[in-house]
Amino acid sequence: MTEKKIPKDGLRTAMDDLKRVFRVSVPEANRIIYDFHREMVRGLSCKKSSLRMLPAYVDRPTGGEKGKFIALDLGGTNLRALEFELKGFGRSGKPKIMKFTLSKEEMDADSSRFFDFIAKSLKLFLKKEKIRDASALGFTFSFPVRQSGIKTGILVCWTKGFNVKGVIGRDVVGLLTKALIRNRIRGIDITALVNDTVGTLAAKAYSDRNCDVGIILGTGTNACYIEPVNNIIKIKSYGRYSSSNMVVNVEWGNFNKLKRTVFDDILDKDSANPAEQILEKMVSGMYLGELARIVLLHFNERGLLFSPTSRKILSKKGIFKTDHMSGIEGDSLYGLKTIDRLLNSLGIIGSTLSDRTAVKNICSIISERASRITAACTAAIITRMDPDLSRMHTIAIDGTLYEKHPNFSKNMRQCLIELLKGRASRVRISLAKDASGKGAAIIAAVAMKGAWRGAKICKTTES
Ligand code: BGC
What are 339-351's pLDDT values in tens digits? 999 999 999 999 9
Q: How high is the pLDDT of residue 103?
A: 87
Pocket of ligand 1 (CB under 6 A): 75, 142-144, 159-160, 195-197, 216, 218, 220-222, 251, 253, 280
- pLDDT over 60 at 52, yes or no: yes
Ligand 1 centroid to 142 CA: how many Å? 5
- pLDDT over 60 at 332, yes or no: yes
d(CA 357, CA 229): 51
More confident residue, 113 or 135: 113
More confident residue, 327 or 46: 327
Q: Stretch 125-132: mean pLDDT, rounded?
A: 91
Q: Is residue 358 part of a domain?
A: no
Protein residue closest via CA to atom 1 of ligand 1: 143
Q: pLDDT tens digit string along 249-294?
A: 999 999 999 999 999 999 999 999 999 999 999 999 999 999 999 9
- Which structural domain range is residue 132 located in? 54-207+435-457
Q: Stretch 179-190: mean pLDDT, rounded?
A: 93
Global pTM exceeds 0.85: yes
Confidence of residue 235 (pLDDT cuts 50, 70, 90): confident
Range of lowest pLDDT (190-194, 242-246, 256-260): 242-246
Q: Stretch 121-131: mean pLDDT, rounded?
A: 94
d(CA 452, CA 449): 9
Protein residue closest via CA to atom 8 of ligand 1: 143
Ligand 1 centroid to 217 CA: how many Å? 9
Confidence of residue 75 (pLDDT cuts 50, 70, 90): confident
Residues 211 and 224 sit within 8 Å (Cβ to Cβ): no
- pLDDT over 50 at 247, yes or no: yes
Q: How high is the pLDDT of residue 236?
A: 66
Q: How many CB atoms lie within 10 A of CB 208?
A: 18
Q: Stretch 76-80: mean pLDDT, rounded?
A: 86
Q: What ligand 1 atom has the least distance to the C-alpha of 197? A: 10
- pLDDT over 60 at 238, yes or no: no
Q: How high is the pLDDT of residue 450?
A: 59
Q: Stretch 100-129: mean pLDDT, rounded?
A: 93
Q: Is residue 106 part of a domain?
A: yes
d(CA 302, CA 298): 6
Q: How high is the pLDDT of residue 135?
A: 84
Q: Is residue 278 part of a domain?
A: no
- Average pLDDT score, the chain: 92
Ligand 1 centroid to 334 CA: how many Å? 39
Q: What ligand 1 atom has the least distance to the C-alpha of 220? A: 11
Strand (E) or helix (H) holding 40: helix 26-44
- pLDDT over 90 at 41, yes or no: yes
Q: What ligand 1 atom has the least distance to the C-alpha of 216? A: 5
Q: Stretch 201-223: mean pLDDT, rounded?
A: 97
Q: Stretch 107-132: mean pLDDT, rounded?
A: 93
Which residue from 445, 451, 27 is spatially nearest to 241, judged by alpha carbons? 451
The answer to whether the Cα torsion of 212, 443, 251, 452 is positive or negative is negative
DSSP 253: G
Ligand 1 centroid to 76 CA: how many Å? 9
Phi then psi dihedrals of residue 73, to 5 deg? -125, 105
Strand (E) or helix (H) holding 100: strand 96-101
The residues carrying an active-site annotation are: 160, 196
Range of lowest pLDDT (10-24, 88-102, 115-129): 88-102
Q: Is residue 134 part of a domain?
A: yes
Q: How high is the pLDDT of residue 264?
A: 98
Q: Which residue out of 52, 77, 193, 195 has the highest number of ligand 1 atoms within 8 Å of its CB and is therefore the one to mutate?
A: 195
Q: Stretch 393-406: mean pLDDT, rounded?
A: 97
Protein residue closest via CA to atom 9 of ligand 1: 143
Protein residue closest via CA to atom 6 of ligand 1: 220
Ligand 1 centroid to 251 CA: how many Å? 7
d(CA 457, CA 239): 17
Region of residue 278 (left: phi > 0; alpha: psi -120 to 50; beta: else): alpha
More confident residue, 82 or 1: 82
Q: How high is the pLDDT of residue 401?
A: 96
- pLDDT over 60 at 363, yes or no: yes
d(CA 293, CA 298): 9
Q: Which residue out of 73, 139, 162, 196 has the highest number of ligand 1 atoms within 8 Å of its CB and is therefore the one to mutate?
A: 196
Residue type present at position 246: M
Residues 218 and 401 sit within 8 Å (Cβ to Cβ): yes
Q: Is 164 helix (H, G, I), strand (E, B) or coil?
A: coil
The answer to whether the Cα torsion of 336, 339, 340, 341 is positive or negative is positive
- pLDDT over 70 at 215, yes or no: yes
Residues 233 and 280 sit within 8 Å (Cβ to Cβ): no
Q: Is residue 376 part of a domain?
A: no
Angle at 295 between CA 290 and CA 301, to 5 degrees: 125
Length of the chain in terms of residues written: 463
State the burial class of residue 1 (Cβ atoms within 10 Å of its Cβ: 0-12, 13-18, 19+).
exposed
d(CA 399, CA 218): 4
Residues 144 and 156 sit within 8 Å (Cβ to Cβ): yes
- pLDDT over 60 at 439, yes or no: yes
Q: Is residue 115 part of a domain?
A: yes
Question: Residue ranges of the alpha helices (H) in 274-336?
Answer: 278-283, 285-301, 311-314, 322-329
CATH number at residue 68: 3.30.420.40
Ligand 1 centroid to 222 CA: how many Å? 5
Residues 340 and 322 sit within 8 Å (Cβ to Cβ): no
Q: Is residue 405 part of a domain?
A: no
Q: How high is the pLDDT of residue 108?
A: 86
Q: How high is the pLDDT of residue 333?
A: 86
Domain count, the chain: 1
Protein residue closest via CA to atom 3 of ligand 1: 142
Q: Is residue 124 part of a domain?
A: yes
Confidence of residue 391 (pLDDT cuts 50, 70, 90): very high
